Structure 1
Amino acid sequence: MSDMQAKTMTHRTAVLRSIFTACALVCVAHVAFPPLAYAYVDPSVMTYTIQALAGVAVALGAVAGVAFRRTRKVLMKALNIDENAGKEVEGDVHRTGAAWAEADCDEAGRTRSFAEAPDARYAKKKERSGKPLPWPKRIVVSLVASAFLAYTVFVVAPYEIVASNSSSLVFGLSDIWAPIAVGGIVITVCLALVLSIFRGKVFDVAVVLVVALGVCAYVQVMFLNTSLPTADGASVVWGDYTTATAVSAAVWIAVVAAFVGFAAYRSRLCRGVSVAIGACLIIVQSVAVASLFLTPQAADADTVAEASTEPLVVTEDGLYSVSSKENVIVFILDKFDTFEMEHLLDENPDLLDPFTGFTYFPDSTGSMVPTMFALPYLVTGELPQEGEEFTRYIDERYTRSTFLEDIAKQGYDVGIYSDSLGWGDIGELADKTVNIHPLGERRSSLDVEGAVGILYQCALYRDLPWVFKPPFWFYTDQVNDAMVVRDSDANGADTPYTMNDLRYYDMLANGGLKVEDGGAEGDFRLIHLNGSHEPYVMDENCQPAEGGESTRDEQSIGALGIVEEYIGQLKEKGLYENSTIIVMADHGDWYVSKDPLTEPTSPLMLAKPAQSKEDSEKPCVISDMPVSHADLFPTVIDAVGGDGSKYGSTMFEIDDKDRARYYYMTTTDHSEGYVNEIIEFEIDGPMSDFDNWHLTGRKWYYDSKNYTK
């Protein structure tokens, strides 16, 4: 074949390969970029999906590269094409001159000892392998291995935890990304310096071990955390997770043993493979992390008002202030059940003696569970409508509610204090409340050291095997509390509100309520406290429990003690009789279940209207009238001077013992993913008799892993 023919054939082959490559890329693009699907996706799920896709892309890219190179070689050989045809190439190297004869060369110019060259090369290679890597190379290898472990556990994990829980945390990615990144860099450098101290085979094994631990953490999160308990403060019975613990331990031992065993056999090769794996997984996880910052709901943990670029925050502004005129105060003691109250009264008959002028309603029913649904309902009065998509209800419950607006129209200053307002446009609450607003200097309220510490604890809880999870267990309020720098200003205008009953009582008892003589007709305050909810850390005297753990009874009595301190100060200031006070729970006893209720549940309900001094001094009375959460709204609107009949009858006006009440239970089946079913009960008699509870057949579906707002 002439040079011209070879060039022509080479050109045609190149064209064919280009066409084939273009077609292959089109096919890949068609699979990789399907038509857009419009849906809200939980960032934690999205990151796992992207990590999987990125990993597949890296693997396919490597395979495709090898395949194309080998295809090219096969085509060249099949067509008898010489790539070097028409090119200037160097000839074979051989000895010249007098050395030619001495070398005993063959006619091709190669020494007759050429056959022995592989053995010589192997000997040189073995000699080189016996020499330890110089420190500059060791530090580079150490940095890659250390970066993989530190990035996986101490950077990716905190980012994903904050992003996927943006509705429950007071700070978001925009606030914590920098200190977390700096922490990851510091851990990487320190660990790399320690690794680089080792030499030879010990160094190789150490590097491989670090990468193996990173791989184990990655596998743990991706595949072994499916039944991880929620961080709601409830005590975890770790004995219920024996199978998960055993499987997790077996996987970690197997992975570490495989890596270390390989390193013991072929240390240099295993070191190279391990570093390559670490580098690839850094890239894969980086794609996932990038998605967190590009996703609108993850860009800031707090919902941003349409009219403002500053994040809205539920602050402590006005938390410890009352009006000199009229006050309507609603205390929500989380998870305080009526049956718990009955038990406490049996043991302590004088428990409600300080609650003079109050009426206790033991026949009380709630609205929705858990708190992320119940609290927004108690602020809006909005329930899902029959046939309405539940996600639409969540999106619109704040925008279509007029409850707070009706209070504000009566000239009242409104303060809503809860860290559980959930998703939806809370920007609708900003212009109706005194405490939901951007912070003056947002970063000054972030406790950097506390935030990094608690997020590292969360990361270790998530990424470690089950056997090591208990010491790092946490709950949401603990995370929020650790992140916040407390404002010295008693009004807390630049302090995010977090549920911490011990701190609230301390501020209340030592700082006291401040009486304001503003232009408002009065103050409305809704204050959400931890109440009877786990964890039990407060004793009956509103003090930290000895040993850090109390009982439900002790904490419940302590929660009532906080309210007692509040009303005691109102009495001292002469404001008690002109104050309407409601003490209630967002829901009664509740637990995660895929099945409907099998016994009654009832939230605490106590109420006192504004009344004469004489009536305000009368002992607490008990009413057998059936009340519900729905009665909160007419009672409050009537108390502020509005038209309560728009919402129904007040608690004090109910006289129908046969009235129907409705309760919306959330069932959860994690075996089917995170699909929840909201089912409606009708209660047509005393709530304590479960025969009076009937399913209506109305239900709504809600996939919590595929909806985050």
Structure 2
Amino acid sequence: MKKKLVTFGISYCIVFLNVFMTIIFGPAEIFMGNYKDFGVIYSEFGWTFLIGGIIGSIVIAAIIALLPEVLRIIILSIGFGVGVACYIQGMFLNKGLDMLGATAEGYHAGKTEMIQNGVIWMMIIVIALALSFVLKKYRVKIAVFGSLFLIAIQMSGYISLFFTADKEAFQYAEGELCLSGEEQFTVSSNENIIVFILDNFSSEWLTEAKQEIPGLTDGLVDFTYYNNADCNSYSTYPSLVRLVTGHELNPTVSVDDYITECWNNEKTDDYYNLLHEHGYKVNVYTPELPIICGSKNLSLATGKLDNIAQESDSIQVNHKLLYKTLIKMSAYRYAPKCLKSRFNVGMNEYSEIVSYADNVIATSNPNFYNTLVENGLKVDDSSNYYQFIHLNGTHEFINDENCQYADGASRMQTIQGIFLMLNEYLDQLKAVNAYDNSTIIITTDHGVARNMQPIFFIKEKGQKHDSAQESNAPISLNEFVPTIVNALGEDYSEFGFSIYDFSENEVRERTVYERSQDDTYPAVKRYDGGNAGQNVYHVYTYRGNLYDFQYVYDNGIYDVIPMVDSYF
């Protein structure tokens, strides 16, 4: 009996090393550093993972303990090697690792990089396996004490999380503000300004899609497409809050200070006052509240946005998706580079973990499309509507050409599904007689790295074309708010230039800020106190079109502005 207990104890140490690292500590550490993105508290998963991990380890260890000795030694030796390799991977071999959700294609390591990383893993596992047979006398001590040592190191980190994390990671805030989705599919019978922000959609991707998919944009016949637009700043932060408020990026201040500036300045006040004076309800729909609020809350936008509501007791947590997302994120951290792409987590998964029965917002392309088809558009006669709708766009390729969820969807399928969704929305606008009196803008917050220029379509109220128009005027997203003010029929000079102030074939100097990392500059903290991966802005200045931008980008012609702190 004693021998069986010893055998079980040895098995348990090695099994628990792997389970604790990937199922208990890994998800907890990832969550504590990103709890605002999840929108839940630790108790929604933490104790389940802890208790389940302990019990699961007991069951697995008991099964292994019953196996024949040679087979048991082989399994435990490989298990110990994998545990050591996972620890080394997470601590030392992930330098330069792509942040989850940063690119639409997900993580893809180079062949040489994967081979080198794979060799390290094989060496660790082979050494662990060889030692168990060569050093028979010491194999138990090596495996058990090695496992206990690594568990102890990580256990200390696990325990410290409970003393260092913000209290908001453990308890839901009372009276927390959120964005209500009650009117997301409502339009006015009078006038509308409707803005679609299709995240991460580059103009070059659209050009390629139009060549491959005939008639892709035929439904936008009354729109003008600007094929030489500029995003001004790369990534959803700071681009989204800049689009919502019209306040240009100030790279010399902290994230929170910049976001506070965005909501509290005279021009932004005047902008929202004009919208409200013209009878508009101003509604913003986005899953990315930290991007427009930072570590503050929506009280920053009180009096400006009209769809601010209190979170109710009707919070609904998709526990299955929460568990799956955290396990995949943990596996992404610890897996060898050749397997990391299997554990990619799209940003859209965050947005669907939590919902509120009273305040549901559709933020993924398929969810928006399916809700639109199922429920249609409602018409309100009491006010005008400004609808700012931020969808995942091409940030992840999650939908097929029918705008339905699809694993392994291609970029072309995703884009085709997006235009099916847009055409359905426009058709429904026409069906409720709200199309002609609507100003509609279809754009994005940014493009993709060297293909950073965004798509930009616009249809003004009452505008009709026999065929779609296209312009190469050098506009930028800095002209977004002045163009909205122009659509109101007001003088927009206070807010800058509108897109109509730039003419066909004009050459204009423009500047793009790209968040980046430069090890020659001091590291900075994240705005929420975590460890940051970015510490500088690369500032590219160019004259001309996308190809002129790509020249300065490819040749590394940029100025550097150190960050005060970082969003990521």
| Interval containing the TM-score (normalised by the shorter chain) | 0.7 to 0.9
1:246-325 to structure 2, matched below 5 A, reads 246-264=115-133, 269-296=138-165, 299-300=168-169, 309-314=174-179, 316-325=181-190
User: How far 1:263 moved relative to its partner?
Assistant: 3.6
Which of 419, 428, 447 is residue 560 of structure 1 equivalent to? 419
Which of 90, 105, 108 is residue 235 of structure 1 equivalent to? 105
Separation (CA, whole Å) in 2 of partners of 1:617 and 1:246: 56
SS in 2 for 1:610: coil
**Residues 588 and 203 of structure 1: CA distance in aligned 2, closer, same or farther (over 3 Å):** closer
Which of 391, 406, 409 is residue 549 of structure 1 equivalent to? 409
Separation (CA, whole Å) in 2 of partners of 1:261 and 1:238: 32
Which of 441, 451, 454 is residue 313 of structure 2 equivalent to? 441
**Which residue is equivalent to 2:65?**
196
Q: Does 1:412 align with 2:280?
A: yes
Separation (CA, whole Å) in 2 of partners of 1:435 and 1:201: 65
**Which residue is equivalent to 1:509?**
373
Separation (CA, whole Å) in 2 of partners of 1:513 and 1:602: 31
**Which residue is equivalent to 2:458?**
607
**Residues 204 and 501 of structure 1: CA distance in aligned 2, closer, same or farther (over 3 Å):** same
Q: Does 1:354 align with 2:219?
A: yes
**Which residue is equivalent to 2:529?**
none
**Which residue is equivalent to 1:469?**
340
Separation (CA, whole Å) in 1 of partners of 2:519 and 2:362: 29
Q: Deviations over 1:413-451 (max 9, x none)?
A: 332222345335343455343555553236x52111222
Partner amino acid, structure 2, of 1:412: Y
**Residues 171 and 316 of structure 1: CA distance in aligned 2, closer, same or farther (over 3 Å):** farther
Separation (CA, whole Å) in 2 of partners of 1:249 and 1:684: 45
Separation (CA, whole Å) in 2 of partners of 1:285 and 1:437: 40
Q: Deviations over 1:501-544 (max 9, x none)?
A: 122211112221222355xx3222211223344436422x4345
Separation (CA, whole Å) in 1 of partners of 2:500 and 2:110: 46
Separation (CA, whole Å) in 1 of partners of 2:436 and 2:362: 30
Return 557-566 or 141-150, whichever deviates more.
141-150
**Residues 689 and 237 of structure 1: CA distance in aligned 2, closer, same or farther (over 3 Å):** same
Which of 371, 375, 387 is residue 240 of structure 2 equivalent to? 375
**Residues 247 and 663 of structure 1: CA distance in aligned 2, closer, same or farther (over 3 Å):** closer
Is the 8 Å Cα contact of residues 227 and 455 (structure 2) preserved in structure 1? yes
Partner amino acid, structure 1, of 2:311: L
Return 367-376 or 693-702, whichever deviates more.
693-702
**Residues 145 and 679 of structure 1: CA distance in aligned 2, closer, same or farther (over 3 Å):** closer
Q: Which runs of 5+ in 1 are unaligned?
A: 1-131, 592-599
User: How far 1:572 moved relative to its partner?
Assistant: 0.7
SS in 2 for 1:590: coil
Q: Deviations over 1:293-335 (max 9, x none)?
A: 4445584399x9xxx6455555644322223333211111223
Q: Deviations over 1:124-166 (max 9, x none)?
A: xxxxxxxx73444544444443332211011222223333344
Q: Deviations over 1:620-661 (max 9, x none)?
A: 333443321011112223445766332124334556945554
Partner amino acid, structure 2, of 1:461: Y
Select the structure of larger CA radius of gyration. 1
Separation (CA, whole Å) in 1 of partners of 2:209 and 2:226: 15
**Which residue is equivalent to 1:456?**
327
1:200-211 to structure 2, matched below 5 A, reads 207=76, 209-211=78-80
**Which residue is equivalent to 1:425?**
296
Return 373-382 or 400-409, whichever deviates more.
400-409
TM norm structure 2: 0.81
Q: Does 1:523 align with 2:391?
A: no
User: How far 1:584 moved relative to its partner?
Assistant: 0.9
User: How far 1:399 moved relative to its partner?
Assistant: 4.2
Is the 8 Å Cα contact of residues 396 and 424 (structure 1) preserved in structure 2? no
Q: Deviations over 1:59-97 (max 9, x none)?
A: xxxxxxxxxxxxxxxxxxxxxxxxxxxxxxxxxxxxxxx
Q: Which runs of 5+ in 2 are unaligned?
A: 524-532
Separation (CA, whole Å) in 1 of partners of 2:68 and 2:211: 71
Is the 8 Å Cα contact of residues 397 and 414 (structure 2) preserved in structure 1? no
Is the 8 Å Cα contact of residues 371 and 586 (structure 1) preserved in structure 2? yes
Separation (CA, whole Å) in 2 of partners of 1:548 and 1:283: 39
Is the 8 Å Cα contact of residues 687 and 693 (structure 1) preserved in structure 2? no
Is the 8 Å Cα contact of residues 167 and 301 (structure 1) preserved in structure 2? no
SS in 2 for 1:226: coil
Is the 8 Å Cα contact of residues 204 and 267 (structure 1) preserved in structure 2? no
Return 267-276 or 353-362, whichever deviates more.
267-276
Which of 492, 497, 514 is residue 644 of structure 1 equivalent to? 492
Identity of aligned residues (%): 24
Is the 8 Å Cα contact of residues 189 and 381 (structure 2) preserved in structure 1? yes
Partner amino acid, structure 1, of 2:323: V
Return 558-567 or 253-262, whichever deviates more.
253-262
SS in 2 for 1:354: helix
**Which residue is equivalent to 2:194?**
329
Is the 8 Å Cα contact of residues 511 and 540 (structure 2) preserved in structure 1? yes
Separation (CA, whole Å) in 2 of partners of 1:417 and 1:424: 19
Partner amino acid, structure 1, of 2:563: Y
Is the 8 Å Cα contact of residues 359 and 622 (structure 1) preserved in structure 2? yes
**Number of corresponding residues:** 546
**Residues 465 and 572 of structure 1: CA distance in aligned 2, closer, same or farther (over 3 Å):** same
Q: Deviations over 1:8-51 (max 9, x none)?
A: xxxxxxxxxxxxxxxxxxxxxxxxxxxxxxxxxxxxxxxxxxxx
**Residues 452 and 683 of structure 1: CA distance in aligned 2, closer, same or farther (over 3 Å):** same
Is the 8 Å Cα contact of residues 626 and 686 (structure 1) preserved in structure 2? yes
**Which residue is equivalent to 1:164?**
33
**Which residue is equivalent to 1:700?**
561
Is the 8 Å Cα contact of residues 234 and 452 (structure 2) preserved in structure 1? no
Is the 8 Å Cα contact of residues 626 and 659 (structure 1) preserved in structure 2? yes
Partner amino acid, structure 2, of 1:637: V
Separation (CA, whole Å) in 2 of partners of 1:173 and 1:408: 40
Partner amino acid, structure 1, of 2:283: G
Separation (CA, whole Å) in 2 of partners of 1:666 and 1:173: 30
Partner amino acid, structure 1, of 2:403: C
Return 389-398 or 316-325, whichever deviates more.
389-398
Q: Please report the RMSD computed on the Cα atoms of aligned residues, expressed in angstroms.
A: 3.9
**Which residue is equivalent to 1:662?**
511
User: How far 1:576 moved relative to its partner?
Assistant: 1.4
Bigger relative contact order, structure 1 or 2 (CA pairs below 8 A, ≥6 apart):
2
Separation (CA, whole Å) in 1 of partners of 2:213 and 2:126: 59
SS in 2 for 1:459: helix
1:114-133 to structure 2, matched below 5 A, reads 133=2
Partner amino acid, structure 2, of 1:466: K
Is the 8 Å Cα contact of residues 374 and 586 (structure 1) preserved in structure 2? yes
TM norm structure 1: 0.67
Is the 8 Å Cα contact of residues 372 and 420 (structure 1) preserved in structure 2? no
Is the 8 Å Cα contact of residues 380 and 397 (structure 1) preserved in structure 2? no
